[in-house]
Amino acid sequence: MKKISVSKVIILMLSGMLGLAGQALGDSNEDMASAINLKPNMYNGLVIFRICAKCHYKEGWGQRSGTFPQLAGQHAKVIIKQLVDVRDHKRETVGMDHFAMLNEIGEPQVLADVAGYISSILMTPNPGLGAGTDLVHGKKLYDKYCFACHGENGEGENDHFHPRIQGQHYEYLLRQFKWIYRKERTNVQAGMVSAISDFTQRDAEAVIDYISRLKPPKEKLAPSVKWKNPDFE
């Protein structure tokens, strides 16, 4: 399998930003089906992730402010689906379009590579949190509305494309919740839209605050906030 140089990726990225990159290759459904069954090449995944790191940082932790989400530790199939959805304009994400539309990024093997690499990165032990004043209410809502898909501890489920939401930044989760509630983000299951349709502002803030405090398993967490991704050293 060919390896993709950093310089080539940068050229492609710049072309996409100028609107010169071609459409992604192949049918999206076929690409996703192929990508989720391919063994990732972690070297190529790292090469592509170096571009992602411009916004999500070398550790893939994003920002506690929620401007950029934590990608580290996310399920590989979830990452693949989100990239394909962005490419198909099923998910509008400012700043991501030109990355997902690149011909090279569109190849199933490269989707598998970057998703596999990202899923292997250790997660931040210090995500952005909410006020912490309404967690009992948040837990009740989580157990009633979120547990079935996202699991007891927010771990999600790779094979069913349910994202890992444990340890994600509060402000990012809250923003996504609002977009889903307003039907501005449409690449989610209809059941979730229905489940949150009657949520109040208090409900949203309480359940998201509770979710942001759910801890990933120890083996998924970086040992400290000072941890650095060794692949960038």
Domains of the chain, first to last: 6-120 (1.10.760.10), 135-215 (1.10.760.10)
Nearest to 34 by CA among 136, 104, 92, 109: 109
Average pLDDT over residues 81-89: 88
Distance, in Å, from the CA atom of 76 to the CA atom of 116, rounded to the nearest integer, reads 5
Tokens of 30: 């076929």
Per-residue tokens: 61: 């932790």
**Which whole number is the average pLDDT over 201-213?**
98
Q: Is the pLDDT of residue 10 over 70?
A: no
Confidence tier at 191 by pLDDT (50, 70, 90): confident
Q: Among the residues of the chain, which ranges form H helices?
A: 6-17, 28-35, 42-56, 76-87, 97-100, 103-106, 108-120, 135-141, 147-150, 170-181, 190-195, 201-212
* Alpha-carbon distances of 73 from 59, 184, 197, rounded to whole Å: 10, 26, 29
Amino acid at 137: H
Cβ neighbours of 26 (radius 10 Å): 13
| Residue 190 in this model has a pLDDT that exceeds 80 | yes
Q: How far apart are CA 204 and CA 210, in angstroms?
A: 10
**Residue with structure tokens 């809250």?**
174
pTM: 0.86
Position 88 confidence tier, pLDDT thresholds 50, 70, 90: confident
pLDDT by residue (tens digit) across 115-141?
A: 999 999 999 999 999 999 999 999 999
